[in-house]
Chain A
Amino acid sequence: MNSLDSLFFVRSELFLTGALFVILILDFFIKQKKWLGWLSFLALVVAFRISPSFYPDQGLFLNYFAWDAFTFFFKAIAYFTIGLTILASLAYEKIPERQQGELYVLLLAMALLLTVMGGATNLLMIFLAIESVSLTSYLLVGFQKFDKFSSEASLKYVLFGSVSSTIMLFGMSLLFGATGTIDLTRIGFLFSQSTGPEIQHIALIGMTLLLVGIGFKVSIVPFHIWAPDVYQGAPTPVTAFLTVAPKALGFAVMARVLLLAFPHFIHKWTHLLTILSILTMTVGNIIAISQSDVKRLLAYSSIAQAGYILVGLAVPGPLGLQAVLIYIATYLFTNLGAFFTVLAIERNLGTNQLEAYNGLYMRSPLLALALAIFLLSLAGIPPLAGFIGKIYIFSAAIKANSVPIAIAIALNSAVAAFYYFKIIKAMYLTQPAREGRTTFQNPLPIKIVVCATLLGTLLLGLWPMPIIRLVEQSITAFPIF
């Protein structure tokens, strides 16, 4: 489809771009930055409402961008995450008021970029999208610029991120050199035609390098070393956002690349991903056990969760991809909820140390209950959202007869339960060392985001049919299913 016709399908992105500039300009005039936050949230809602609900047969902009059910799904994931993050940031006082306007603008830009990432169907777009998402992430991580942990995290992120981008770009250049095209589908077609061993080797090397690059972005072991420091150092709302949206979109890109460009090599990459997924969940979980900082513990847990998601791609077939999408949807509410609750607790306790959580049920029964539910959901206890995700991941592994993966998930679930219950134990079983201050005070936006994620966690567990239906539609975007 030519560029002019395509504009119709990107109207919500156009609207968001406009809104972004308006808010940037308003930032000069409005002293009460909270209003900018609410305005950004509103812009996001409107942009989401006006996205076209039907899908063209062809790719937009001369096949550079696909507007299909798959893109829509990940756009929804990105918008939900960013909308909730904006609300949570409204209650985060560690960022100076002067800078808050820019935070909202960056988050809106992130929504735009993530959508592009979800719909990118050729190497150039993929690289541009991932790179701009990364650049924006670096800025967000370093947003508390007077906090040395935040700055350190940002710098670390930049260094690791640049290296991974370079590796990815190198892989892309090999693929382009071998096929002469940057279109994923076309690459897939050409690889299926050519049987020469040289081409096969180049394809495999290119694919592996590309996977390494994306693996960095979604923090798969052994490319995860940056993640804990970055997640711990970043402002808490940003951490919440980083553990969900860019990761989810990273998996979207990975799915598109593997399924469109390398269906021919499916046995090669499923083996590779099987090993990586088992490694990721095991390493993430085992290191999480010894953490004493709740934020850092959740950071490692989110690495392990990436391992579970990867299982969906490591087993071929439509059920695997469904599992990826469903897990991401359930993980969105559960993980965001856990981080937002930690944020609400951090505002009052002033620390994220596990000892500070002792006897939390007395001081804030509702927050303790909310965090307990999120942790149980992360542990995959029914009837919560995380259980539906886990059921799908398990199903995908078992349907593909992948016994090692199934056993790895089973054992990892028990390990993970141990450290999730460390937090629950501190909150409910341990008595506080000394009488704390009076009850917690939290502003409205925090209450909204915790309630919204809690509702999502409960509803997806008890009433998962709508999300399963949406996911089943989404994966029809792939012709091979």
Chain B
Amino acid sequence: MNMPILSSLVFLPIVGMILVVIAPKNQHQFIRTIGTIVTGIVLLITVRLLFAFKPNISDMQFVEHISWIPQLNVFYHLGVDGISLPMILATSLLSFLACIASFGIKERVKEYFALYLLLVTGMLGTFLSINLFLFYIFWEVVLVPMYFLIGIWGGSRKEYAAIKFFLYTLAGSMFMLIGILALFFASTPHTFDMLELSRNAFALRFQQIIFMALFFGFAIKVPIFPFHTWLPDAHVEAPTPISVLLAGVLLKMGTYGFLRISYPILPNAAHWFSPYMGILAVIGIVYGGFVAFAQKDFKKMVAYSSVSHMGFVLLGLAAFTTTGLNGALLQMFNHAMITGGLFLLVGVLYDRAHTRDLDSFGGMWAKMPIYGSILIFISLASMGLPGLAGFVSEFMVLMGSFKIYRWMTIASCIGILLAAAYLLYMIQRVLLGKLNPKWANLPDINAKEIFMLVPLMALILIVGVYPNLALQYITPAIENLVRILGGTLA
């Protein structure tokens, strides 16, 4: 039987969710197995998709196009191209790994995995939708399980963090919905189709208004300064696997929204906004870096480092060059791997020590040599060591934007210095120095945890050494986007 590959990606987790719901409540092991198998199959399908994908085509591939609500011209329309492919890979991989990390969840297991699988559907659907209506539905479907996942299984201030996350994102997405509907009514014929919309040429004034409406929705998700205040709360309170998905996937939904919707459909407004985007990017990079440096809580430090690193994505978006946009998209993928790894590592330490206070550690490398090495490897990737993934994408972003926004690019380099500073400072406090006797009996990282981290480290290394492997998939689609934007093909 020839199953539509993208639909099976999106709806397999829903099937898994139904299985979990009808499973007996106390069979925790069985429920975990369902979750792992389902996300595992999703990952396998993604790998198959990766091999079946034709890299040199810039159009949508594996398109599924079925009429859903004809009165509103809504289609069930899925497709994948070079922009969504890396996001799909990151989502499936992190979903699978975080699912294994979720074995530590001990209470209300059934509800956890049901919501978790619903979340996976929402994330994959968001990246695969070509119809704005469908996109919005999946975007919102992500919200609800996330609220519960933070609110039920989170830390001490979980309820506050959950509702803050929810209300921020909901408020943003309401404005996004206004923008989407305005696009629908402004287009001829009325359509929600992203590809058809990008063929419409809208007046500049209209584009600017819609760009700002969509900007609210995306900026809150990224998050762009000053809309970032939900992020430290949500990341810190969320359980480890959910932090991984929040930082690894949900933040990218915002920047993906720019690449997929705002830029191709509203190119003139994107041009108009790009200097401001650049300024916001620099603020994010520098501010995020400084705040990360000041943190005492390990997880909060990683959370703020995300604000800083996502700033590079925005800088790449502001540049309008192939190199810059390529770098931005690659940075989205790399940051998913790196920050996912860092959150997993924070979780490993927290599971053992039950604290994340950086000052309470010290000399852990001697006690946990494997853990220490992995932490250093991923930290080096995060601070942009050449040969690892983070360097490639950040370098590309800086190179792409230097010609356009020279001073902003130079200012952004402070962010790289800061990243080195806060990460090395963290390593010094956690791994080096005198061993705190309280932690004398901590066991080293176990096989399961290593298994979760190895794929991430492998990808970080491969992309770092041979970036062309990733770039060959994304360049055609990005070049196409640059042509629409009228930017520089370099």
Q: Which residues of A contact B (CB under 8 A)?
A: 361, 376, 381-383, 387, 391, 394-395, 398-399, 406-407, 409-411, 413-414, 417-418, 421, 425, 428-430, 464-465, 468-469, 472
Contact = CB atoms under 8 A, between A and B. Distances in A.
B144 A472 contact: no
A395 B152 contact: no
Interface in B82-113: 111
Given A383-B141, A468-B69, A425 B159 contact: yes
Contacts of A413: 170-171, 174
Contact of B178 (A387, A398, A425): A398
- Interface SS, A side: helix
Residue with the highest number of chain B CB atoms closer than 10 Å, among A421, A468, A469:
A421
Given A413-B174, A417-B170, A429 B69 contact: no
A428 B136 contact: no
A466 B69 CA distance: 10
A409 B175 CA distance: 10
B45 to A, nearest CB: 23
Given A383-B141, A429-B158, A465-B71, A391 B170 contact: no
A421 B160 CA distance: 12
Interface string B136-176: 11001101100110011000001100110011001100110
A425 B151 contact: yes
A430 B151 CA distance: 9
B144 A414 contact: no
Given A414-B174, A428-B152, A468 B182 contact: no
Interface string B161-200: 0110011001100110110011011000000000000000
Contacts of A382: 136-137, 140-141
A361 to B, nearest CB: 8
B71 A469 contact: yes
Contacts of A410: 171, 174-175, 177-178
A476 to B, nearest CB: 14
Given A395-B185, A398-B178, A410-B175, 4 more contacts: A381-B144, A382-B141, A465-B69, A468-B69
18 contacts: A381-B140, A381-B144, A382-B137, A387-B137, A391-B72, A391-B177, A394-B177, A395-B185, A399-B185, A406-B178, A411-B174, A413-B171, A421-B147, A429-B158, A429-B162, A465-B69, A465-B70, A468-B71
A152 to B, nearest CB: 35
A269 B370 CA distance: 73
A398 B171 contact: no
Nearest to B177: A394
Contacts of B72: 391, 468
A429 B71 CA distance: 39
Contact of B151 (A387, A409, A418, A429): A429
B181 A398 contact: yes
B227 to A, nearest CB: 14
Interface residues of B, number: 31
A418 B163 contact: yes
B167 A381 contact: no
A444 B391 CA distance: 64
Interface string B113-128: 0000000000000000
B152 A414 contact: no
Cβ-closest 5 pairs across A and B: A410-B174, A414-B171, A382-B137, A468-B71, A398-B181
Residue with the highest number of chain B CB atoms closer than 10 Å, among A391, A407, A409, A430:
A391
A150 B258 CA distance: 55
Contacts of A394: 177-178, 181
B143 A381 contact: yes
A270 B104 CA distance: 58
Contact of A417 (B162, B166, B175): B166
Contacts of B171: 410-411, 413-414
B144 A376 contact: yes
A395 B180 CA distance: 10
Contacts of B71: 465, 468-469, 472
B158 A395 contact: no
B3 to A, nearest CB: 21
A407 to B, nearest CB: 8
A140 to B, nearest CB: 36
A317 to B, nearest CB: 12
A315 to B, nearest CB: 12
A410 B181 CA distance: 13
Nearest to A421: B163
A407 B177 CA distance: 11
Contacts of A391: 72, 177, 181
Nearest to A322: B71
Interface string B41-78: 00000000000000000000000000001111000000
Contact of A418 (B140, B167, B182): B167
A148 to B, nearest CB: 37
Nearest to B154: A429
Contact of A383 (B137, B166, B182, B184): B137
A406 B69 CA distance: 23
Contacts of A469: 71
Interface in B382-399: none
B163 A425 contact: yes
Given A382-B137, A417-B167, A468-B69, A429 B152 contact: yes
A414 B182 contact: no
Nearest to B176: A410
Interface string B383-425: 0000000000000000000000000000000000000000000
